[in-house]
Structure 1
Amino acid sequence: MISPEDKDQGIARAPLLFVLAPVFLSLVLADRGLSTVPLGAVSFLICLGTLLIFSGARPLRFLSYSLLIALAASILSIISVARIQSFTLPAGSVTDGGEVILERSWGSKRAVVVEGEKGRFLLKVRPDQAVPEGQSIFFTGEPASFSRSAASSFREELYWRARGVRAEIVPTKISLKRTQLTGLPSFRTALRKKILLSLPSATRGYLLVSLLGASDPVLAGDHRAWGTAHLLAVSGFHVGLVAAAAWKLLSLAFFRRVLPHGGRIVLASLLIWGYSFLAGGAPR
């Protein structure tokens, strides 16, 4: 048994910290060149060591649980590193087609992510060649390595890898199939068009950012000049505001009468997850 005064110690206070911290460290070490198997051993030892150091109370079977948790951290580290390192450039020219699942600005171009039969690919095209989300396209091009600037800490490769992109393709030919597929990308495109065509500029700019996570160039430029560009990035703060608003709404007398407490929690969770998928609709 763990005494009440020991409930806020060690793994009882932050259980996921002892698993996730070694995983994050393994990703950093993998970027420094450490191979997969030693990374698993390092994660195991770090997790076990932190458990022994920070857990004041050590009940029966504590060592067994600690070894199991350390093993889980080691396995997760190996899987995470293997996932990051599993992406390889296709050999030769690539011809594929599929649904556009993400379209966003990228410098002077538009970044288009296509879910094709051979994998998920990134195409950077001119603004006049941009294809809306939910549209089906076909392309032919040459694979290219992600660029990396020595003057910036931003890792474009990791950014797109986290979104499941296999490789960047420099397109030599793009053809559009006039079929609008159903799903979240199509819904986001339809909602974006509705906002752009029916609202004044300032209102539509903020609504695009808050609802779809889409940046309005004019609004983004103004906020950069004001030093408040970070407010335009959808974050946990914005999701927290939605969560508070959803729970406040569901706490009204009408909803308390028609829904039990558990039902209101489920509905609030659905609203929060719906907003998260809508505003952060980038591929996962």
Structure 2
Amino acid sequence: VFLFFLVVAIKKGRIKTVCLSVVYVFLGMLYVQSHQLLEKNHIEYEARYFKNKPANIQGVITSAVTVKERFSSFRTSFYLDVSSIEAPWGWKNVKGRVFVNIFTKRNLEYGDLIQVSGKLHYPFEFDNETNFSYRNYLANYGVKQILSVKKTALVDVLEKGKGSTFIDLSQRLRRHLRSFLAQHLSKNEAGLLQAMLLGERSHIPQAIRDLFAHTGTVHILAVSGLHVGVIAGFVFLLIKILPLRREIQIILTIFILGGYVFLAGARPSTVRAGLMTTFFLLSVLLERKQNHLNTLSMTGLILLLINPLNLFDVGFQLSFSCVLAIIVLTPILSPWIMIIFGVSGTFSREVSLSWQYKVRKNIAESVSVSASVWIGVMGLTVYYFGIISPVTVLANLIIVPLMCVNIGLGFGLLTVGSFFTGLVPFFVICQKFCLNLMVAAAFLLNKFPFAYFFIREVTLKKVMVYYVFLVVLLIVICRVQTSRSSIDKAIRL
């Protein structure tokens, strides 16, 4: 993509743009390299002395603590910022982060300073058939080692409240909401709603997750732009009830949205969605026209300044590819799809106001967006997960609206239901019906002929060829559309 825009800039004589682009890329490469440098007392260097014996470590829990149940056994997992490790001559100060797996249920919380004993080892690569690397995924979050802790091993809480107060409050609220959902919904239903509202997918059964993965709609199980947009819309509607000025309503929405991003785990895709929605609200507040490409670029720059390794994160790449595809591909594909649905050109006022025309036009616009996203991320999904889902375009038309309804009902269940307990049964009944309807739709779409198929051994070169071919094809289509519009103008004249 960078090379494509570089060639365009050279052809247009924008030498300054070319020079600045090269400088930015060079500085970015240096920044990534500097971010990967480890300090002398990093836990990575100390781990080599504990290959054949357990390591006794102290550190602070810096993430939500998840407890998974499988085959009547439990596993407690979290990120731990290490502060010291026990050496033969005493405790030694170290730095770095490890991912801890305790193979039993433990009552631990964010911000706990703990002492734990376990075996340090490199992350395992569970899937050798695709290009997704669990080891690289953890490395993007600063994790080089995993600490596996036995059921009977030492796990002591030395002190509580060592983390950020704001994050601690968001984690407590998160646990309360999770408990509220578990109280009123079944285990699988609560797991689905937690994924869509709180970004926590650990409680979704693998069979249900596969249904959405095969139909190309697994994105609904992670908090992203669409989720944040729906939540922002509901929040703004509630705030509009208050007798406040429009400017204050927008500012309040931005602050609440920021809190929701932290509540949902502040993953790259969630932060990207939160920042883009914030920029949109600020453009409304300042009465400025928004440039979507500039907004996307600024959002990416902020995330990469925070952690340049986000660039290599699968979620980051898919999230930004989706939005870029919507911005770039949808205007190109839309006129052709409008022709297919018979809503292209000018119509009489009576026709354009008819419900049949509006339905066809809305479906055509939805198909344009869905097809753009599918084409835009196909190369990445094939490369990382080895799957192509032709049914995705149709699946998004059915499952995404159901997801929006489920988010709305879930938002109502957690807000209105918390204050007016009499409304809880109504929301629960509607929520159960819509959640099961969404899963049933995914199940039926899975049964379509050629709904999905797997492709193995896809190399990076093949993915690059696909995107180069896509860019060339888009240039040709743009030129055809430009020529067509010029001919139409000439005919009118």
Under a length normalisation based on structure 2, what TM-score does the superposition of the two structures give? Answer: 0.40
Under a length normalisation based on structure 1, what TM-score does the superposition of the two structures give? Answer: 0.65
Q: Pick from 116, 124, 130 the counterpart of residue 147 of structure 1.
A: 124
Q: Pick from 136, 146, 149 the counterpart of residue 168 of structure 1.
A: 146
CA distance in 1, matches of 2:43, 2:20: 33
Counterpart of 1:184 in structure 2: which amino acid? I
Could you tell me how far 1:178 is from its partner in structure 2? 6.2
Residues 243-267 of structure 1: CA deviation (Å, up to 9, x unaligned): 23233444x3x45x52243x33332
Query: In the alignment, what sits opposite 1:184?
Result: 167
Contact 2:10 2:18 in 1 (8 A): no
Contact 1:113 1:123 in 2 (8 A): yes
2:236 equivalent to 1:247: yes
Alpha-carbon spacing, 1:243–1:143, altered in 2? closer, same or farther (3 Å):
same
- SS of corresponding position for 1:90: helix
Alpha-carbon spacing, 1:142–1:186, altered in 2? closer, same or farther (3 Å):
farther
- SS of corresponding position for 1:128: coil
Q: Pick from 208, 230, 233 the counterpart of residue 222 of structure 2.
A: 233
Counterpart of 2:199 in structure 1: which amino acid? G
Uncovered stretches (5+) of structure 1, i.e. residues with no partner: 1-20, 23-45
Query: In the alignment, what sits opposite 1:72?
Result: 24
Query: In the alignment, what sits opposite 2:194?
Result: 208
Q: Bigger CA drift: 182-191 or 132-141?
A: 182-191
Residues 81-108 of structure 1: CA deviation (Å, up to 9, x unaligned): 4434658823224522223423336795
CA distance in 2, matches of 1:195, 1:234: 15
Q: Bigger CA drift: 96-105 or 116-125?
A: 96-105
Uncovered stretches (5+) of structure 2, i.e. residues with no partner: 84-94, 269-306, 308-493
Contact 1:98 1:116 in 2 (8 A): yes
CA distance in 1, matches of 2:20, 2:190: 51
Q: Pick from 39, 42, 50 the counterpart of residue 5 of structure 2.
A: 50
CA distance in 2, matches of 1:268, 1:190: 19
Counterpart of 1:116 in structure 2: which amino acid? V
Query: In the alignment, what sits opposite 1:122?
Result: 99
Counterparts of residues 65-104 of structure 1 (less than 5 Å): 65-84=17-36, 86=38, 89-91=44-46, 92-93=49-50, 94=55, 95-104=57-66
Counterpart of 1:114 in structure 2: which amino acid? L
- SS of corresponding position for 1:101: coil
Residues 172-231 of structure 1: CA deviation (Å, up to 9, x unaligned): 7442216442442464245414542673133643443334322363x5356337547823
CA distance in 1, matches of 2:267, 2:81: 12
CA distance in 2, matches of 1:246, 1:186: 20
- SS of corresponding position for 1:114: strand
Query: In the alignment, what sits opposite 2:76?
Result: 110
Contact 2:64 2:171 in 1 (8 A): no
Counterpart of 2:21 in structure 1: which amino acid? I
2:258 equivalent to 1:273: yes
Could you tell me how far 1:236 is from its partner in structure 2? 2.2
Could you tell me how far 1:277 is from its partner in structure 2? 1.4
Counterpart of 1:110 in structure 2: which amino acid? T
Contact 1:104 1:214 in 2 (8 A): no
Q: Which has the higher strand share?
A: 1
Could you tell me how far 1:278 is from its partner in structure 2? 0.8
Alpha-carbon spacing, 1:164–1:130, altered in 2? closer, same or farther (3 Å):
farther
Q: Pick from 175, 179, 193 the counterpart of residue 196 of structure 1.
A: 179
Counterpart of 1:269 in structure 2: which amino acid? I
Indicate the RMSD between aligned Cα atoms, in angstroms: 3.5
CA distance in 1, matches of 2:228, 2:62: 26
User: Alignment length, in residue pairs?
Assistant: 231
Could you tell me how far 1:68 is from its partner in structure 2? 2.1
Contact 1:122 1:168 in 2 (8 A): yes
Alpha-carbon spacing, 1:159–1:134, altered in 2? closer, same or farther (3 Å):
same
- SS of corresponding position for 2:191: helix
Query: In the alignment, what sits opposite 2:209?
Result: 224
CA distance in 1, matches of 2:211, 2:200: 19
Q: Which has the higher helix share?
A: 2
Could you tell me how far 1:57 is from its partner in structure 2? 4.6
